[in-house]
Amino acid sequence: MFADVVVPRTPLDELTYRFAPEEPGELHPGDIVRVPLRRKTVTGAVLRVRADTEISPEEIQPVIDVVASQFITPDLLRLLRWAADYYVCHLGEVLELVLPQIVSGKAEAVTAEIGAAENGFNSLPSELEQAFNAGNFGVWVTAQRSEFQKLLFDFIRRAFSNGSVIILMPEAYRTEFLPLLRRVWGERVIEYHHQMGKKQQKAAWQAIVRTNHVVVGMRSAVWLPVRRLSGVILVDENAESFKEERVPCYHARDVAVARARFASCPVLVFASPPSVETWWNLRRGKYHLLDRVNFRIDRTNVFVVDMRQHRRELVSPRALRDLRNALKQQQIALCYINRRGLSRYVECADCGTVLKCSRCQSPYILSGAGRVRCRVCGAEDEAPERCAVCQGMNFNYRAPGVDMVVRELKRLGIECQSVTGGAQDVQLAAADAGATGFAPVLVGTRTVLRSDRLRVPGLVVFLNFDTEFTIPDFRSRERAFSLLVSLLSRKPSRLIIQTTRPEDPLLELALQGKVSSFLDQELKLRAEAGFPPYKRLVAVEFSGEEKTVVNWVNKMVSELSVLPGIELLGPVKLLQRRQGNPQFRLIVKLPANLMPAKVIDRRKLRHPRIRVRIDVDPREML
pLDDT tens-digit readout, 195-215: 888 889 889 998 888 889 999
Within a domain: residue 105? Answer: no
Looking at 245, 265, 289, the residue that finishes a domain is 289
- In this predicted structure, the answer to whether residue 118 has a pLDDT above a threshold of 50 is no
User: What pLDDT is stored for residue 104 in this prediction?
Assistant: 52
Q: Is residue 81 part of a domain?
A: yes
Helices (H) and strands (E) in the chain, counts: 17, 27
Whole-angstrom Cα distance, residue 499 to residue 466? 6
Q: Is residue 9 domain-shared with residue 65, that is, in the same domain?
A: yes
Strand 40-50 relative to strand 189-192, pairing: unpaired
Burial class (CB in 10 A: 0-12, 13-18, 19+), 437: exposed
Q: Each residue of 2-34: pLDDT tens digit?
A: 999 999 988 888 999 998 877 767 899 999 999
More confident residue, 147 or 527: 527
pLDDT value for 557: 92
Average the pLDDT over 184-197 and give the result. 91
Please tell me the distance from the alpha carbon of residue 41 to that of residue 188, in angstroms, as a whole number. Answer: 35
Instruction: For the chain, state the CA radius of gyration.
Output: 26
Which contiguous run of DSSP H or E holds residue 83? helix 74-86
Q: Which of 497, 525, 553 is the last residue of a domain?
A: 525
Mean pLDDT of 297-323: 90
Among the listed residues 161, 210, 207, the one whose alpha carbon sits nearest the alpha carbon of residue 184: 161
Whether the per-residue pLDDT at 620 is higher than 90: the answer is no
* Same domain assignment for residues 317 and 459: yes
Same-domain status, 75 and 151 = no
* Whether residue 313 sits in one domain with residue 270: no
- 173 with 268, same domain: the answer is yes
Do the domain assignments include residue 566?
yes
Range with the poorest average pLDDT among 58-62, 328-332, 468-472, 577-581: 577-581
Going from the C-alpha of 536 to that of each of 81, 90, 593, the distances in angstroms are 19, 20, 8
**What single-letter amino acid sits at 370?**
G
Angle CA(287)–CA(292)–CA(293) in degrees, nearest 5? 80
Query: Is residue 262 assigned to a domain?
Result: yes
Residue-wise pLDDT for 78-94, tens only, equals: 999 999 999 999 999 99
- Cis peptide bond prior to 11, omega within 30° of 0: no
Q: Based on the number of CB atoms within 10 Å of its own CB, is 541 exposed (0-12), middle (13-18) or buried (19 or more)?
A: middle
Claim to verify: residue 466 and residue 408 sit in the same structural domain: yes
Q: Band of the pLDDT at 75, cuts 50, 70, 90?
A: very high
Rounded Cα gap, residues 260 and 207, in angstroms: 21
Distances (CA, A) of 336 to 173, 405, 444: 21, 10, 5
In this structure, the strands spanning 40-50 and 32-37 are antiparallel
CATH number for 21? 3.40.1440.60
- 8 A C-beta contact, residue 558 and residue 566: no
Asked if residue 121 belongs to a domain, the reply is no
Is 364 part of a structural domain of the chain? no
User: pLDDT value at position 457?
Assistant: 54
d(CA 506, CA 253): 25
pLDDT over 70 (residue 370): no
User: What letter would DSSP give residue 454?
Assistant: G
Query: What is the separation, in whole angstroms, between the first and last Cα of the chain?
Result: 50
Using DSSP's 3-state secondary structure scheme, residue 78 falls into: helix
Same domain, 495 and 585: no
Q: Are 159 and 260 in contact (CB under 8 A)?
A: no
Assign residue 607 the CATH number of its domain: 3.30.70.600
Q: How far apart are CA 271 and CA 530, in angstroms?
A: 24
- What single letter denotes the amino acid at residue 345? Y
Per-residue pLDDT band at 103 (split at 50, 70, 90): low
Give yes or no: residues 86 and 219 share one domain: no
- The residues, any chain, with a CB within 8 Å of residue 602's CB and separated by 6 or more, are 88, 89, 90, 612, 614
Kindly report the three-state secondary structure assignment for every residue of 325-347.
Answer: HHHHCCCCEEEECCHHHHCCECE
Domain match, 85 and 174 both:
no
Higher-confidence residue of 440 and 255: namely 255
For the residues of 208-225, what is the DSSP string, one character each?
Answer: HTTS--EEEESSGGGG--
Return the H-helix or E-strand segment holding 152.
Answer: helix 145-160
pLDDT (mean) for 535-559? 92
Q: Is 547 among the domain residues?
A: yes
Contact 141, 292 (CB under 8 A): no
When mean pLDDT is compared over 106-115, 139-148, 177-186, 599-608, the highest value belongs to: 177-186
Find the CATH number of the domain harbouring 438. 3.40.50.300
- Which domain covers residue 10, as residue numbers? 2-98
Task: Give the percent of the chain with pLDDT over 70.
Answer: 86
Supply the pTM of this predicted model: 0.85
How far apart (Å, rounded) are the C-alpha atoms in residues 515 and 553? 41
DSSP class of 578: S
Q: Are residues 504 and 575 in the same domain?
A: no
The count of domains in the chain is 4
Q: Is residue 214 part of a domain?
A: yes
Contact partners, residue 240, CB within 8 Å, separation at least 6: 446, 619
Based on the domain organization, do 413 and 509 belong to the same domain? yes
Does the pLDDT value for residue 431 go beyond 60?
A: no
Question: Final residue of a domain: which of 475, 506, 525?
Answer: 525
The angle subtended at Cα 49 by Cα 98 and Cα 37, nearest 5°, is 60
- Do the beta carbons of residue 260 and residue 132 sit within 8 Å? no
Question: Are 158 and 231 a contacting pair, CB within 8 Å?
Answer: yes
In residues, how long is the chain? Answer: 622
